[in-house]
Amino acid sequence: MHSSEQKVIVEMTVNGALYQREIEPRTLLVEFIREELGLTGTHIGCDTSYCGACSIVLDGLLIKSCTTLAVQADGGVVETVEGLEKDGALHPLQSAFSEHHGLQCGYCTPGMLMAAKTLLEENPQPDRDQICKGIAGNVCRCTGYVNIIKAVDAAAKTMQES
């Protein structure tokens, strides 16, 4: 038996640009971002929302895009890791991750960056425990947490100075 699923139109602002696409209603937000928009920085890791590699910001909230339907973001404002860089300049978090070796294989990095960005927007001067809690929804399989925490702390200090 062949079933044809109706398509729906979704519209959202992603990294400051407005996009409208016709998609299947069951399309996951991570698939929409990667396949429809070609923004492959958001990674697919576990498909269960455990690892956090797919973390993005939707309407100001950090979410796991692998368990969110694209239709749930219809009309929303989405920020992905590609949106961190502005006018050719890295975000202080990106610079700090590089300077403090906060990335190893890099797979978790986009989600870690988005989690850290959200944390620093809510708490510009987090202590070590607050940083750990802020990135707790993201798994680094290379066990690079020490350097990730250092990087987030350094970025917080840099952002406070500027």
DSSP H helices in the chain: 29-31, 92-99, 109-122, 128-134, 145-161
CB 84 within 8 A of CB 113: yes
Q: Does domain 92-161 have CATH number 3.50.50.60?
A: no
Quote the pLDDT of residue 4: 59
Q: Which CATH superfamily is domain 8-83 in?
A: Beta-grasp domain (3.10.20.30)
Q: What is the pLDDT of residues 54-74, one digit of tens each?
A: 999 999 999 999 999 999 999
Phi, psi torsion values for 160, nearest 5 degrees? -70, -35
> How is residue 146 written in tokens?
């020490």
According to DSSP, the residues that pair with 20 across neighbouring strands are 11
- Within the chain, all domains assigned CATH 1.10.150.120 are found at 92-161
* pLDDT, the chain, mean: 95
Question: What is the model's pTM?
Answer: 0.93
Distance CA 104, CA 151 (A): 13
